[in-house]
């Protein structure tokens, strides 16, 4: 084999190996970027889940808990303006990679949690509108204000069955849904995060040196 031919073969092989190495590096970079996008979507979902829990828990602690065992929680639980409740929606498109994994169930569970939250906020806003726009004006017309002593049965008769029954029904449903939602959201976080921690463990150097743990958001559910 002539020196010219040998040199040409070496140059060709070097170019081939260089192109392959460049392709492998670009492929690895693309995979890392995609993995980071997925991890960011999961971290955002964990954050949003904690926001849903926190909103419901604060409402439970501040509005429901002080009055739920009173003789008339339907009357005493305060009305809330809608701006107190932050709208939260999960980025389903960013999380759709889960559909091709063993964790596909969490897509529907996150959506269900969001739906439960929206239903609860809708009930709270409906009740608040009744309290602020109907109940309070009627009580003011009856001369009943803060600190006024009154007979509950007589007040119910004066307010009428339509208003009192609607307030009782909405208040009971809100208390029950808030309690269930707080528990459901917390349980979902306790299941979902460990699965994602496991999912985002990546092998180091072809698996020869264990696994690298990519950071998954951990939020404390502070009661």
Buried b (16+ CB within 10 A) or exposed e, 127-146: bbebbeeebeeebeeeeeee
pLDDT at 33: 76
- Which of the four pLDDT bands, split at 50, 70 and 90, describes residue 218? confident
Question: If you average pLDDT over every residue of the chain, what do you get?
Answer: 83
3-class secondary structure, 86: coil
> Is the predicted pLDDT of residue 205 greater than 70, yes or no?
no
> Is the predicted pLDDT of residue 29 greater than 60, yes or no?
no
Predicted confidence (pLDDT) per residue in 142-151, tens digit: 998 877 888 9
Predicted confidence (pLDDT) per residue in 171-189, tens digit: 999 999 999 999 999 999 9
Instruction: Give the span between the Cα atoms of 47 and 117, in whole angstroms.
Output: 15
Neighbours of 11 (CB within 10 A): 10
pLDDT at 35: 85
> Is the predicted pLDDT of residue 21 greater than 90, yes or no?
no
């Amino acid at each position: 084999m002539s020196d010219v031919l040998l040199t040409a073969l070496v140059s060709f092989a070097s170019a081939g190996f260089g192109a392959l190495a460049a392709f492998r590096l670009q492929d690895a970079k693309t995979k890392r970027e995609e993995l980071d996008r997925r991890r960011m979507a999961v971290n955002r979902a964990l954050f949003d889940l904690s926001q849903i829990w926190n909103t419901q828990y604060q409402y439970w602690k501040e509005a429901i808990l002080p009055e739920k065992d009173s003789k008339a929680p339907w009357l005493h639980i305060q009305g809330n303006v809608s701006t107190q409740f932050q709208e939260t929606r999960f980025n389903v498109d960013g999380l759709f990679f889960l559909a091709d994994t063993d964790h596909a169930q969490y897509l529907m569970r996150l959506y269900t949690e969001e739906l439960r939250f929206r239903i609860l906020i809708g009930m709270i806003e409906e009740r608040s509108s009744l309290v602020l726009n109907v109940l309070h004006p009627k009580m003011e017309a009856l001369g009943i204000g803060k600190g006024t002593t009154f007979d509950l049965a007589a007040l119910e008769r004066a307010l009428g069955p339509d208003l009192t029954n609607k307030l009782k029904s909405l208040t009971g449903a809100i208390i029950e849904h808030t309690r269930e939602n707080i528990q459901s959201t917390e349980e979902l976080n306790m299941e979902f995060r460990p699965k994602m921690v496991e999912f985002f463990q990546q092998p180091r150097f072809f698996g020869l040196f264990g696994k690298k743990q990519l950071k998954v958001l951990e939020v404390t559910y502070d009661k």
